[in-house]
A and B are shown apart, each in its own frame.
Chain A
Amino acid sequence: EVQLVQSGAEVKKPGESLKISCEGSGYSFTTYWIGWVRQMPGKGLEWMGTIYPGDSYTTYSPSFQGQVTISVDKSISTAYLQWSSLKASDTAIYYCARHGTHYYYMDVWGKGTTVTVSS
């Protein structure tokens, strides 16, 4: 079964750093792009960025460029999303999703990681 398993919920304080993960299984991890999508409380979906695990090529939404870092460790089939200094406005659910064979869409989604940033 193709699946993406995301790390558990996090509660952090403003200014702290954070790295959340997304482990792929059941398919060739290095040959499918992995994207990250934010959903703020009660809001819609926002594409943040996407990485190609085969060579770590990464593309970011202009809205998130410089705000987060996406990386991958293909030896353990895991993608990451990290922040160096969290803000309260980073409170959201973060989904990882596999881009399909034709990378135009996202065909497999993780269950999401809830990040709460509060003092």
Chain B
Amino acid sequence: EILLTQSPGTLSLSPGERATLSCRASQSVSSSYLAWYQQKPGQAPRLLIYGASSRATGIPDRFSGSGSGTDFTLTISRLEPEDFAVYYCQQYGSSLTWTFGQGTKVEIK
């Protein structure tokens, strides 16, 4: 089973700053199989990025994903007030299984 470790646990930043979130896999993951989600308090998760770097429909271009192998990154170029939330990475594993990372909270500094 592939484990996903996200860091940092909490990121304290100000609006307008750049956010860099990390997702590390315990084994190599195909880029096609890596996704990122945003979850705001009291809301369901929302798909941001799939295939490691493709933005989902309606996602602003300040969100970008990159990486390969075991190291993946979600970058928010300039934080807007609505971007303060929890972010999860997720990977698809073999034999039809899916795993989430533990999440990174982006909070207002």
Q: How far, in angstroms, from A62 to B57 measured CA to CA in the complex?
A: 32
Provide the residues of chain B in CB contact with A100, threshold 8 Å: 47, 50
Contact present for A59 and B96 (CB under 8 Å): yes
Contact for B44 among A35, A44, A112, CB less than 8 A: A112
Q: How far, in angstroms, from A72 to B21 measured CA to CA in the complex?
A: 37
B89 to chain A, nearest CB (A): 10
Query: Beyond A35-B98, A44-B100, is A102–B32 a contact (Cβ under 8 Å)?
Result: yes
Q: How far, in angstroms, from A101 to B98 measured CA to CA in the complex?
A: 15
CB neighbors of A among B24-38 (8 A): 32-33, 35, 37
B69 at the interface (CB under 8 A from A): no
Contact for B97 among A61, A105, A106, A112, CB less than 8 A: A61
B63 at the interface (CB under 8 A from A): no
Query: Beyond A50-B96, A59-B95, A105-B90, is A45–B47 a contact (Cβ under 8 Å)?
Result: no
Contact for A45 among B88, B92, B95, CB less than 8 A: B88
Contact present for A45 and B45 (CB under 8 Å): yes
Contact present for A105 and B47 (CB under 8 Å): yes
Q: How far, in angstroms, from A105 to B97 measured CA to CA in the complex?
A: 11
A43 to chain B, nearest CB (A): 9
Contact for B56 among A37, A61, A102, A107, CB less than 8 A: A107
Contact present for B92 and A103 (CB under 8 Å): yes
Contact present for B92 and A109 (CB under 8 Å): no
A95 at the interface (CB under 8 A from B): yes
Chain A residue at minimal CB-CB distance from B86:
A44
Residues of chain B touching chain A, judged by Cβ–Cβ distance below 8 Å, are 1, 32-33, 35, 37, 39, 43-47, 50-51, 56, 86, 88, 90, 92, 95-103
Residues of chain A touching chain B, judged by Cβ–Cβ distance below 8 Å, are 35, 37, 44-47, 50, 59, 61-62, 95, 97, 100, 102-107, 109-112
A-B residue pairs in contact (CB < 8 Å), sample of 20: A37-B100, A44-B88, A45-B45, A45-B88, A45-B90, A45-B103, A47-B90, A50-B98, A59-B96, A95-B44, A104-B92, A105-B35, A105-B51, A106-B35, A106-B47, A107-B47, A107-B50, A109-B44, A109-B45, A109-B47
